[in-house]
Amino acid sequence: MAAAAADAAVKVAEIRDLTRIERIGAHSHIRGLGLDDTLEPRQTSQGMVGQLQARRAAGVVLEMIKGGKIAGRAILLAGQPGTGKTAIAMAMAQALGTDTPFTTLAGSEIFSLEMSKTEALTQAFRKSIGIRIKEETEIIEGEVVEIQIDRPATGTGAKVGKLIMKTTEMETIYDLGNKMIESLTKEKIQAGDIITIDKATGKITKLGRSFTRARDYDASGPETRFIQCPEGELQKRKEVIHTVSLHEIDVINSRTQGFLALFSGDTGEIKSEVREQINAKVSEWREEGKADIIPGVLFIDEVHMLDIECFSFLNRALENELAPVVIMATNRGITRIRGTHYSSPHGIPLDLLDRTIIISTSPYDERDIRDILKIRCEEEDCEISDDGLLILTRIGMEASLRYAIQLISLAYLVATRRKGTEITVEDIKKVYTLFLDEVRSTAFLKEYQDQFMFHENPEQSKFPLFTYIIYSISMPLTHLH
């Protein structure tokens, strides 16, 4: 099981190393929580603005997670819409880095998956727990002196060859088989390269080129990394560390296709017996010093969308020693718990609220909104005039911050069409009249509600003449009576 997990971890790492397409998202400007060494928040730092109290509290939780000693804690981010709850969670993910698992889940997401709700939550929990597996392996590390490949005269048959490698103290000749020759060719290994060969798997890793070959301009480019020739023996034992999540180990050991299910997404429901065996094996590895557990974070956004069954499951799952830190976010006040007729603060049962520590977020003031809009303009590579930023800030105060952020790219498109280099007040006015915010849209509906279908004003007829005329014009003549 350990070998399978380690092998899959290498393949998972290779997939993760692929270059991703850079896109600008709602929180792509966030780099961290913006705290100093004493966990005091700066007014504007790492993309975060304002919410000083909430960020300070999140920083304390962050230190708790980094310590790795505490599991099964629940944190609730509660506040009005547009007060930066998801931004704080994303900032924590950035601050934790890639080594700590961070899983994001929307509250409504579990109802659309082809598995039970509890299975979806279980998989999310186990994705948020990392296992750092340590194993010793024998490697050959040295500088390539020469590669000799003998091809059959007939053109068919297995290739054979020799590989001469050296360190500062010794030099050895290795016989090559067809598989190793293909690996060397694939990695484009040539004389002067410093490489490592894993004796167990045959995997070849190119570390760089030797300093003695620094003048070989034909064999090196600007990205070439020059390193010293290794010292000591060619063959040595090296400790290799693989990091893999509990869910990835579950998938590897529960399906015939093994790690391929990780990339196809066809994981399905995993039997509890498999998980119990894996938990026992992980405990055994911990006792033997072969593995460490990395407690991660599970972030559940819009947690009020979960029903009473999910909340009951969370209560039980948080007591497990292999539970991550669960961060939840909601913008609801006192509302009905889904699946019941009872109301509760934030739509969460009281017994689960007792287990949580609540971080409250508050509305942004005018200065914060201006700073956020300025950061978003920089992120979207848009120039904006001072007057334009002032008007956009006023819109953010009167309508909503999210609406103001949406207008940035729209106004910049208008500015580009008139061949302008920056967003001006006129550009913002134009898109402001084209696209309504929630307040103006509601006012429009109240004024013209009798001309819409299925309005709920009892004083008006349910199918007014105006609507009937529009409906009749849109229907084919054969359907009219």
How many other CB atoms are there within 10 angstroms of residue 288's CB atom?
Answer: 9
Which position has the higher pLDDT, 449 or 78?
78
Q: Are residues 127 and 251 in the same domain?
A: yes
Q: Are residues 294 and 387 in the same domain?
A: no
Q: Are residues 75 and 181 in the same domain?
A: no
Q: Are residues 15 and 126 in the same domain?
A: yes
**DSSP, res 202:** -
Closest CA to 438 of 82, 27, 77, 79: 82
Q: What pLDDT shows up at residue 88?
A: 87
The answer to whether residue 14 scores a pLDDT higher than 50 is no
Q: What is the CATH number of the domain that holds 74?
A: 3.40.50.300
% of the chain residues with pLDDT over 90:
4
Q: Are residues 272 and 154 in the same domain?
A: no
Q: Which residues pair with 243 in a beta bridge?
A: 132
Query: What confidence tens digit (pLDDT) does each residue in 263-319 have?
Result: 545 566 788 888 888 888 888 888 887 888 888 888 898 899 998 999 998 988 888
The answer to whether residue 476 scores a pLDDT higher than 50 is no
Q: Spell out where 391-466 has E strands.
A: none
Helix H or strand E encompassing 135: strand 129-150
Backbone angles phi, psi at 173, to 5 degrees: -105, 130
DSSP assignment of 56-107, as one string?
HHHHHHHHHHHHT---S-EEEEE--TTSSHHHHHHHHHHHH-SSS-EEEEET
- Choose from 30-39, 336-345, 454-463 the range with maximum mean pLDDT: 336-345
* Residue span of the structural domain in which 431 resides: 366-442
Q: Are residues 257 and 297 in the same domain?
A: yes
Q: Which residues pair with 171 in a beta bridge?
A: 166
Q: What is the CATH number of the domain that holds 220?
A: 2.40.50.360
The answer to whether residue 180 scores a pLDDT higher than 50 is yes
Q: Which amino acid is at 474?
A: S
Coil, helix or strand for 125?
helix
Q: What pLDDT shows up at residue 2?
A: 52
Which position has the higher pLDDT, 448 or 69?
448
Q: What pLDDT shows up at residue 13?
A: 47
User: Helix axis angle, 425-434 relative to 401-417, nearest 10°?
Assistant: 110
- Confidence grade of residue 336 (pLDDT, cut at 50, 70, 90): very high
Q: Are residues 323 and 230 in the same domain?
A: no
Is the entire prediction scored with pTM above 0.75? no
Distances (CA, A) of 313 to 120, 251, 326, 400: 11, 22, 13, 36
Q: Which of 63-67, 184-188, 330-334, 450-454 has the lowest mean pLDDT?
A: 450-454
Geometric angle at alpha carbon 182, from 177 and 188, rounded to 5°: 125
The residue out of 241, 263, 278 marking a domain boundary is 241
Q: What is the CATH number of the domain that holds 432?
A: 1.10.8.60
Q: What pLDDT shows up at residue 7?
A: 56
Residue 401 burial (CB < 10 Å; 0-12/13-18/19+)?
buried
Q: Are residues 113 and 254 in the same domain?
A: yes
User: What value does the mean pLDDT of the chain take?
Assistant: 79
Query: What confidence tens digit (pLDDT) does each residue in 94-126 have?
Result: 888 777 888 888 888 888 777 888 888 888 888
Q: Are residues 96 and 199 in the same domain?
A: no
- Choose from 166-175, 306-315, 444-453 the range with maximum mean pLDDT: 306-315
- Dihedral of the CA atoms 338, 339, 342, 346 (nearest 10)? -20
Rounded to an integer, the average pLDDT of 58-66 is 84
Q: Are residues 348 and 380 in the same domain?
A: no
Rounded to an integer, the average pLDDT of 414-427 is 88
Which position has the higher pLDDT, 160 or 373?
373
Q: Which of 77-81, 109-113, 349-353 has the lowest mean pLDDT?
A: 109-113
Q: Which of 237-241, 286-290, 401-405, 434-438 has the lowest mean pLDDT?
A: 237-241
Rounded to an integer, the average pLDDT of 465-474 is 40
Closest CA to 236 of 140, 340, 151, 303: 140
Q: What pLDDT shows up at residue 469?
A: 37
Q: Give CA 105 to chain center in angstroms.
A: 10
Rounded to an integer, the average pLDDT of 402-411 is 88
Rounded to an integer, the average pLDDT of 241-260 is 73
Geometric angle at alpha carbon 51, from 49 and 57, rounded to 5°: 125
The answer to whether residue 195 scores a pLDDT higher than 60 is yes
- Confidence grade of residue 479 (pLDDT, cut at 50, 70, 90): very low
The answer to whether residue 461 scores a pLDDT higher than 60 is no
- Confidence grade of residue 212 (pLDDT, cut at 50, 70, 90): confident
Q: What pLDDT shows up at residue 36?
A: 85
Q: What pLDDT shows up at residue 33?
A: 85
Q: Which residues pair with 130 in a beta bridge?
A: 245, 294
Tokens of 213: 């070959």
Query: How many domains are there within the chain?
Result: 4
The answer to whether residue 392 scores a pLDDT higher than 70 is yes
The residue out of 360, 388, 421 marking a domain boundary is 360
- Confidence grade of residue 42 (pLDDT, cut at 50, 70, 90): confident
- Confidence grade of residue 15 (pLDDT, cut at 50, 70, 90): very low
- Give the integer Cα–Cα distance in Å for 453 and 476: 20
Long-range interactions of 402-408: CB distance < 8 A, separation 24+: 402/81, 402/82, 403/437, 403/438, 404/369, 404/373, 405/26, 405/372, 405/373, 405/376, 406/435, 407/431, 407/432, 407/435, 408/373, 408/376, 408/377, 408/380, 408/382, 408/384
Tokens of 201: 């798997």
Q: Are residues 344 and 207 in the same domain?
A: no
Q: Are residues 10 and 128 in the same domain?
A: yes
* Beta carbons of 47 and 26 less than 8 angstroms apart: no
How many other CB atoms are there within 10 angstroms of residue 23's CB atom?
Answer: 6
